[in-house]
C-alpha cells in the first residue's frame, strides 16, 4: 500500500537554478565619474572603494561589471540606472548578458 510519503518521494521535483545575468555599465563621454560611483553605491550596493574600481574599469575598458543577478533583478537594476541617469541629464546605460 502506497503511503503519502512514498508518493512524495516518487514525485520529487527537480528544479534548475535560475539563469544568471551580468550587469555592466557602459562608458560614454558625458556621464561624470562621480555619478557612476554614486550609481554603483546606491543601486548596486558597492562600497566606495569597489565603486571607484568599477568606475575606472568602465573608463578604461568601455564597460564594467556591476554584479550578477537573476533576470528580473538585473532588469530592474538596468531600469533604475536609466531612470536616475535620465533625471540627472546623463546618457549612462547599463546592459545585461547571460553569465
The CATH number linked to 75 is 3.30.1390.10
* Residue 18 DSSP symbol: P
Query: Does a structural domain hold residue 5?
Result: no
Query: Does a structural domain hold residue 85?
Result: yes
Q: What is the mean pLDDT of residues 27-32?
A: 96
pLDDT band at 58 (very low <50, low <70, confident <90, very high): very high
Question: Does 68 have pLDDT greater than 70?
Answer: yes
Query: Does a structural domain hold residue 2?
Result: no
- The confidence score (pLDDT) of residue 2 equals 52
Determine the Cα–Cα distance for residues 45 and 23; give it in Å rounded to an integer.
Answer: 13
Cell 536616475: give the residue: 84
Determine the Cα–Cα distance for residues 33 and 79; give it in Å rounded to an integer.
Answer: 20
Q: What is the mean pLDDT of residues 7-24?
A: 80
Domain of 37 in residue numbering reads as 18-98
pLDDT band at 16 (very low <50, low <70, confident <90, very high): confident
Question: What rounded mean pLDDT belongs to the chain?
Answer: 92
Q: What is the mean pLDDT of residues 32-52?
A: 98
Determine the Cα–Cα distance for residues 29 and 91; give it in Å rounded to an integer.
Answer: 9
Question: Does 1 have pLDDT greater than 80?
Answer: no
Structural domains counted in the chain: 1
Query: Does a structural domain hold residue 3?
Result: no
Amino acid at each position: 500500500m502506497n503511503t503519502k510519503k512514498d508518493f512524495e518521494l516518487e514525485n520529487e521535483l527537480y528544479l534548475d537554478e535560475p539563469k544568471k545575468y551580468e550587469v555592466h555599465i557602459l562608458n560614454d563621454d558625458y556621464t561624470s565619474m562621480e555619478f557612476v560611483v554614486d550609481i554603483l553605491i546606491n543601486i548596486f550596493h558597492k562600497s566606495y572603494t569597489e565603486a571607484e574600481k568599477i568606475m575606472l574599469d568602465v573608463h578604461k575598458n568601455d564597460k564594467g561589471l556591476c554584479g550578477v543577478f537573476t533576470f528580473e533583478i538585473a532588469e530592474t537594476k538596468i531600469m533604475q540606472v536609466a531612470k536616475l541617469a535620465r533625471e540627472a541629464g546623463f546618457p549612462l546605460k547599463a546592459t545585461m548578458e547571460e553569465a
